[in-house]
Amino acid sequence: MSTAPAGSRQALRPWAGTRHLLRLALRRDRVRIPVWVLALAATAGATVPALEATYAGQQGAPARGALTDNPAGVLMLGPSFGERSPSLGAMTVSELGMTLYVATAVMAVLLTVRHTRAEEEAGRVDVVRALAVGRFAPAAAALGVTFLADLAVAVGIAVALVVTGLPVGGSAVFAASVGLVGTVFGAVAAVAAQLARHPRGTTGLALSVLAAAFALRGVGDVLDPTDGSWLSWLSPLAWAQQTRVFVDTRLWPLALLLAATSVLVAAAALLGVRRDLGSGLLPERRAPDHAGRLLHSAAGLAWRQLRSGMVAWGLALAGFAAAFGSLTEEMNEAVEQLPEVARWMAIAPEALTDSFAAVMLLYLSLGTAAFVLAGVLALVREEESGTGALVVVAGTSRTRWMGMWLVVTALGALVVQGLAGLALGVGVAVSTGEQARVGSLTVAALGYLPGVLVLGGVAAALVGWWPRAARPVAWVVLAHALLVAVLGPLLAVLGPLLQLPDAVINLSPLQLTPAMPLEAPDGGTLVLLLAGTLLLGGAGMVGLRRRDLAG
């Protein structure tokens, strides 16, 4: 792109330079987008044969029906659309649908914020706009990247479903619904970028809309578990589900998703004209004239930056834990009717409740690990924004700055994990009537914390020694732990198709953690995991002390 004379700025088309910016953004995300696409497509591809093996035979449909007829099951999966004996395709869409919708929406939000509000805050949009670039070009390129990523996800899911044996037509409609949910929430993030001033506020606002959409859809579906009530129709997630793929497939709900995307993109463009570059339309809360005493310390600054994430992750995991815990009795009945379910979820038939709780605690621990990684990797953002340098110049050593940040993150993980365990215990107690489960599962959840903190230690070491690669490598490590947790139990069902070497599986610290409450705590293993966390955190602080801070 070449510079334009000042007098010719008015002659620029609003979209001028979009193609060049789109190519640049795609180059920047040449790793990020393929990882999302492969992860979501692999999830779809692995689920079909697992469900086929698990629910095969005449007992399969009744066993699954015991799960989906429960209000908690409807809240998580959606309505049944009157399908009493679902086909493999219908079961796959029911199991996968909400997971893929939410995951694709989160991907779209993060990509849009990354290429809009985050670019503005970093000052790069000012530089770009000084060239021959139209007013709407940066936002158009950002949405272009997001929509192409959504398209790639849809294609990947469709291919995965067809390869595993599902009909082409239904697979294509379901994949299209997933991609269009992504475009809707990418456009929601574009609107949020005009309202909020900072990336975190933009992300929080967009994800709050996603959470509200999930809640409206869930409550509406519980009111009418067969078809969904009028309240469900207030949520774009319900529009995608109302395609009723493999049950009574219909295409017109996809038009609602397209229309919503178009309206939101137009709204983002209109709002963008009304604000100054770098500002937001929502009024900001007036800051006090003087910082409180807490912000005079490195620990206080870390708490100020991490507390909103701790609250959000804690409430989200607690909600999921309570919902899954309330399914305990239904899961026990399903295992008794269909032993293949136990093989799929690695549940021991002789200790059903303990096994189910152990599986749920493993999954919840992965959520806590995501909070820990986000907290530790925020150090990179603090460096890039210059805040880290200001803290050091003010007299705080680099070691103390990073050490206090890691301590606050660990304490936040303690709260998040404990809250998830408490909520799971309450759900199980309500389902089974065993009140003692509340305390025992809360304690068991804390037993997974050392393994979670090891993942945070890995991120800390990366931040200290290799900050530029810290974000992608740390999230790849968590993705490995997630794949091992999800695909490991499926090996008994899928056989050699998804076999992983034992050495690869044991690289995940959560796999080294005893499966509490099914297994007794292993003090030696937990101590080793804590020692590993301390060594990795210490290595990160040594690395930070030996290198220059980013400015």
The model's pLDDT over 378-425, given as tens digits with 9 standing for 90+, comes to 888 888 777 878 888 878 888 888 999 999 999 999 999 999 999 999
Q: Nearest Cα to 199, choosing from 112, 261, 295?
A: 112
For residue 467, what pLDDT is reported? Answer: 86
Residue 474 confidence (pLDDT) = 87
Residue showing tokens 């893929």: 100
DSSP string, 501-533: -HHHHTTSHHHHS--TTTS---HHHHHHHHHHH
Count of positions (residues) in the chain: 551
- pTM score: 0.75
Question: Mean pLDDT, to the nearest integer, of 274-284?
Answer: 71
Burial of 205 (C-beta count, 10 Å sphere; 0-12/13-18/19+): buried
pLDDT at 169 over 50: yes
**Residue 234 pLDDT greater than 50, yes or no:** yes
For the stretch 345-386, pLDDT in tens is 555 555 677 877 888 898 899 889 999 998 999 888 888 777
pLDDT value of residue 57: 52
Residue scoring higher pLDDT (154 or 391): 154
Is the confidence at residue 334, as pLDDT, over 70? no
List C-alpha distances in Å: 92 to 87, 241, 290, 335.
9, 12, 56, 19
Residue 50 has what pLDDT?
73
Examine the pLDDT at 68 and tell me if it is beyond 80. no
The pLDDT of residue 96 is above 70: yes
> pLDDT at residue 497 above 50?
no
Tokens coding 141: 């390129």
- Sequence spans of domains, the chain: 14-282, 293-551
pLDDT at 492: 43
- For residue 165, the tally of other CB atoms under 10 A from its CB is 12
Contact 257, 183 (CB under 8 A): yes
Q: What is the rounded average pLDDT for all residues in the chain?
A: 81
d(CA 145, CA 25): 7
Give me the pLDDT at residue 7, please.
44
Q: What is the rounded CA–CA span in Å between residue 467 and residue 381?
A: 10
